[in-house]
Structure 1
Amino acid sequence: MRAWSRDSSGCASSQSMEETKPLPDVSVIIAAYCAEDSIATSIASALAQDVDLEVIVVDDASPDGTAEAAEAVDDPRVRVLRLEDNGGPGVARNSGFAAATGTFIAVLDADDAFRPGRLARCLARGEDADIIIDSITIEETGRPARTLDVAEAAGGPTLDLTDYVRLNSPMARKDTLGYTKPLFRRTFLEANGLHYDPLLRIGEDYLLMAEALACGARCAVVPDAGYVYRRRAGSISARLGVRHIEAMLAADVCFEAHHTLCEEVVEAIAARRSALSDALAFAEAIEQLKARRPVSAAVAVMRRPRSAIHFRYPIGARLHRLFRGGAPEAAAS
C-alpha cells in the first residue's frame, strides 16, 4: 500500500511515493539501569524472536556504560532512549511505552530473557485478547530454577481480576503473578490512559495489570514458560522495605477508590491489604532489630500479630547477618 499526500494544487508530492512502513507486531520495552553486563544478552533474546518487532531500550540515567552497550547492538530494530534523571522502572517504561508503535507491548527487564518462540506463541493464543500472560521460569542465585505455572494458577485459558488479585498476596510462600511480564495491546492502554505508577519501585507490574483488568481487558493465558526471570541476591526486587510497602498500600487504596468493583474483587483486595499490613509490621520490626531496638521491634509485631509468621525463615541466620551489618531481605511479590 502506498501513502500519498497532496500539496495545495492537488498534486501528489514526490516524497509521498515511499511505501508506508508496517507497524511491528510487538514493541519490546527494556528499562535499564546499571545493566552494562547483561543488556546485550537481553536485547539478543528479543531480536531472536520470530515476529516483527522493535526493541526500545530506555537507559534510566545509568552511571555505567549501559546506554553505550545497548547502542553497540548493530540492528536497525533497536532504539535507545537516554533519560537525563533516574526515575525508576515505572518512569523508564512509561517513556518506552510512549515511543512504542507495535500492536502489543512486551516488557523485558535488562537482566532477563525471552525463550525462543515466546512472542509467536503469545500472539497465536491471544489474537483477540487485550492482555496475554504466560508462565515464567525463575532463576534465583543459589537456588534451582523453578517454573511459575500461570495456567495452573489461573485454572483456565483466561484470567480475571478476582483471581489476579487473589494470586498476588505479598510475601507468600509461593511465587505470585506479580513476577510475570504480560503483553499488553497498545491501543487498549492508550484508550484507557493506562501507564506505570511512577511512585512505585516494587509492585508496579502488579498495579498496571490490575488496572487493565479493572478497565475490562480480556486476558488470555499461555501455558508455556516463555519468560526467564533472573532474580539476583540483593536486587531491589528481592528486598521489600517499609517505604516500598507503604507505597504499595497507598496505590491499592487509590486503585479501589477509582474503580467500581464486584464483591469478590473487594474481598480479594481486602485480603491483599491485610497481608501487606502484616508485611509492613514485619519490615518495621526488622528495621528496629537492625537498629538494636528489640522492644520497638516487639511492639511492631504486636500491632499485627500475624506478621510474626514472616519470621519462619531461619531466624538465627537472619539475626546473625543482621547484627553483623547485613541488610535484611524479604521476598517481594
Structure 2
Amino acid sequence: MNVVSVVTPVHGAAARFLPDAYASLLAQELPDGWSWEWCVQEDGSGVRAQECLPADDRRIRISASRAGGPHVARTMAFARSTGRYVKTLDSDDQLTPGALARDLAVLENRPSVGWTTSRVVDLLDDGSTVSFELSDPPPGLLARGSAFAFWAEHHRPQVHPATLCVRRTLLALLGGWMALPASGDTGLLLGLDALTDGWFIGETGLVYRKHAGQITAHPDHRDGVEWQARMSLIREHAQAVRAWADDAESP
C-alpha cells in the first residue's frame, strides 16, 4: 500500500479543532492502492489530543515532543511519518474533498514537480468563508524561482504554504520546516522553490480557520525586530539553497 503522510502540529488550545480536521480526512477518496496516515504531534505537554480523536483508527499516530512551536512540531511529525509524499494540515484547518487525490495526481504524473499548493478559503467565526482568488497564480506549473520572486517583491507568498504537499526526499533534504517562531512554512516553501518546480492546483484544497489563537494573529507576526530577523533568514536560506542547486547542476 502506498502512503501519503499528513502531518499536524497541535497545542492545547487548538486540540478542540481536531475532530473537524479528522472529518475532512475521512472524506478523502484516494486512488486504488493508496492510503493516508495522520501524524499528530503535540507541541509540549498537556495537549491531550487522544481525547479528541478515536482510539480505534490505526491511521492516526499521536506523539508528543518538547514545546518548540508549530514548525518544530511539524518536523517531528515528519520524522515519524512513512509516506512517499508529505501533506501539511494544521489542527484548526480542514481539507476539502478530493484535495489529497489532486495532490497525488500531480506528483505521480509529473516527476519534475517537487511540490504542490492549492487555492484556500478562509473560515470565519460566523461560519462563512471568504476567498481571495484574485491573488492566486494561474493553475499549473510554478517555475523554479517564481515563488521567491513574488515574495521578494510583495513581502508575502503568492501561494499558501499551509497547503503544501511535498515529495519526501525534498523535505528530508531541507530538514523539514524552518525552526522559527512563525513563517517556518514560508521558509520551507521558498526552499522548495529554490530546488524544483511546483504546481498550483486551481481547485480549493484547504479551509483555513481564522481565529484569535493562531500565531498569525500575534502582533509580532508582520512587523518589528522578530519579523525582520525571520524575513532575513528566510531570504538567506532560499538564496543559499538556490546557489547550491545551481552549482550542483553545473557541468
TM-score between both structures, scaled by the size of structure 2:
0.81
Q: Pick from 104, 115, 140: which aligns with 2:124?
A: 140
Q: Structure 2 matches for 1:101-116, cutoff 5 A?
A: 101-116=82-97
What is aligned with 1:54?
A: 37
Q: Pick from 225, 231, 241: which aligns with 1:249?
A: 231
Return closer, same or farther for 1:220/1:98 CA change in 2, 3 Å cut-off. Answer: same
Q: What is the CA deviation profile of residues 110-168 of structure 1, one whole-angstrom value per residue up to 9, with x for unaligned ones?
A: 01001111111222233223101111111234695222439x73235111344313443
Q: Structure 2 matches for 1:1-333, cutoff 5 A?
A: 22-24=1-3, 26-34=4-12, 35-51=14-30, 52-70=35-53, 72-83=54-65, 85-127=66-108, 128=110, 129-141=113-125, 145-149=129-133, 153-168=136-151, 169-170=154-155, 176-190=158-172, 192-198=173-179, 200-215=180-195, 217-241=196-220, 242-256=224-238, 258-260=240-242
Ranges in structure 1 where 5+ consecutive residues have no aligned partner: 1-21, 262-333
SS at match of 1:259: helix
Ranges in structure 2 where 5+ consecutive residues have no aligned partner: 244-251
Instruction: Please tell me whether the aligned partners of residues 133 and 182 of structure 1 are also in contact (alpha carbons under 8 angstroms).
Output: yes
* Matched letter for residue 53 of structure 1: W
2-structure distance, mates of 1:165, 1:253:
8
2-structure distance, mates of 1:181, 1:207:
14
Instruction: Please tell me whether the aligned partners of residues 20 and 94 of structure 2 are also in contact (alpha carbons under 8 angstroms).
Output: yes
* Matched letter for residue 90 of structure 1: H
1-structure distance, mates of 2:183, 2:192:
15
Percent identity, please: 25
Report deviation, 1:239.
2.6
Instruction: Please tell me whether the aligned partners of residues 135 and 226 of structure 1 are also in contact (alpha carbons under 8 angstroms).
Output: yes
1-structure distance, mates of 2:206, 2:45:
24
Report deviation, 1:250.
3.3
Report deviation, 1:257.
5.2
1 or 2, which has the higher strand percentage?
2
Instruction: Please tell me whether the aligned partners of residues 33 and 59 of structure 1 are also in contact (alpha carbons under 8 angstroms).
Output: yes
Return closer, same or farther for 1:256/1:42 CA change in 2, 3 Å cut-off. Answer: closer
Instruction: Please tell me whether the aligned partners of residues 145 and 194 of structure 2 are also in contact (alpha carbons under 8 angstroms).
Output: no
Instruction: Please tell me whether the aligned partners of residues 115 and 165 of structure 2 are also in contact (alpha carbons under 8 angstroms).
Output: yes
2-structure distance, mates of 1:33, 1:243:
25
Return closer, same or farther for 1:156/1:114 CA change in 2, 3 Å cut-off. Answer: closer
Q: What is the CA deviation profile of residues 196-244 of structure 1, one whole-angstrom value per residue up to 9, with x for unaligned ones?
A: 111x1221111101111212x2312211001111010353212341354
TM-score between both structures, scaled by the size of structure 1:
0.62
Q: What do you get for the CA RMSD once the two structures are aligned?
A: 2.5
Instruction: Please tell me whether the aligned partners of residues 88 and 163 of structure 2 are also in contact (alpha carbons under 8 angstroms).
Output: yes
Instruction: Please tell me whether the aligned partners of residues 167 and 177 of structure 1 are also in contact (alpha carbons under 8 angstroms).
Output: no
* Matched letter for residue 105 of structure 2: A
1-structure distance, mates of 2:123, 2:204:
12
SS at match of 1:221: strand
Equivalenced residue count is 230
Report deviation, 1:61.
1.5
* Matched letter for residue 194 of structure 2: A
SS at match of 1:227: strand
